[in-house]
Chains A and B, each alone.
Chain A
Amino acid sequence: GEDVEQSLFLSVREGDSSVINCTYTDSSSTYLYWYKQEPGAGLQLLTYIFSNMDMKQDQRLTVLLNKKDKHLSLRIADTQTGDSAIYFCAESTGGFKTIFGAGTRLFVKA
């Protein structure tokens, strides 16, 4: 069945770039997402990429999609302590179903 996998932890120093990686199995995925969850809060959509795109940039965020390898990454430039959170990768083929990964907890050290 469909599955989304991502590493559980990432630790970076403030000011460095963070790269969070994700792999998915459903080759018919049309939308791929990155959500952010801060402590005690619900998920918030950070950005998404349509499957016919290779890259999307939005201020400090860069999303790269390798459709052949079913690999998605999120790069956060100049990582700040406020970026410490759990980041979820998710995919959808449209409709009502979205498949979420387990989340990557990003620790930013001052």
Chain B
Amino acid sequence: NAGVTQTPKFQVLKTGQSMTLQCAQDMNHNSMYWYRQDPGMGLRLIYYSASEGTTDKGEVPNGYNVSRLNKREFSLRLESAAPSQTSVYFCASRSGTSGKDEQYFGPGTRLTVT
């Protein structure tokens, strides 16, 4: 089991460029999540997908779009990157929605927008 994988690990973009962050999990989990981590702040939820075919906004969705391509994959797209989107992005997955269901995190993508 690879768990949750993310690509790329690092990326530098110029303002206005677009890119897609990829995430995949091999644990047959129903729900998947995208978070961003900024210094001095906790992880903030960008979007989540409760199950294949559904997506919902989290706390900070502006400037992002997502696709739940299938049960395994959940991608995050920045259509026109801005310096405020410089952050570390984490994908996570979870089997259910009980508080006992552990969230499994990927290793993160460090994105810099200049």
Q: Is the CB of B107 within 8 A of A41?
A: yes
- When chains A and B are docked, how far (Å) is the Cα of A23 from the Cα of B41? 15
Is A48 touching B97 in the complex (CB atoms < 8 A)? no
Partner pick for A100 among B42, B56, B99, CB 8 A cutoff: B42
What are 7 inter-chain pairs, A to B, with CB distance below 8 A? A31-B100, A42-B4, A44-B105, A45-B103, A96-B50, A97-B45, A98-B45
Report which of B103, B106, B108 forms a contact with A98, defined as CB distance below 8 A.
Answer: B103
Q: How many residues of B contact A (CB 8 A)?
A: 26
Contact of B99 among A30, A42, A43, A44 (CB under 8 A): A30
Cα-based distance from A92 to B33 in the complex (angstroms): 15
Given known A-B contacts A8-B40, A100-B42, A102-B40, A42 and B105 have beta carbons under 8 A apart: yes
* Count of residues in A whose CB is under 8 Å from the partner chain: 25
Taking CB atoms, residues of chain A closer than 8 Å to B92 are 42-43
Within 8 A of B (CB), among A28-58: 30-31, 40-45, 48, 50
Chain A contacts with B in 47-96, Cβ cutoff 8 A: 48, 50, 88, 90, 92, 94-96
Q: How far is the CB of B94 from chain A (nearest CB, A)?
A: 8
- In the complex, how many residue pairs between chain A and chain B have their CB atoms under 8 Å apart? 55
Q: Would A43 and B97 be within 8 Å (CB), given that A99-B42, A100-B42, A100-B43 are in contact?
A: no
Q: Are A4 and B42 in contact (CB under 8 A)?
A: yes
User: B99 contacts A48, CB within 8 Å?
Assistant: yes
A96, B48: Cβ atoms closer than 8 Å: yes
Say how far A47's CB is from chain B's closest CB, in angstroms.
10
Q: Is the CB of B42 within 8 A of A94?
A: no
Residues in A neighbouring B56, C-beta threshold 8 A: 96
Using Cβ atoms and an 8 Å threshold, which residues of chain A touch B105?
A: 42-44
Taking CB atoms, residues of chain A closer than 8 Å to B106 are 42
Choose one: B31, B40, B45, B108; the contact of A42 (CB below 8 Å).
B108
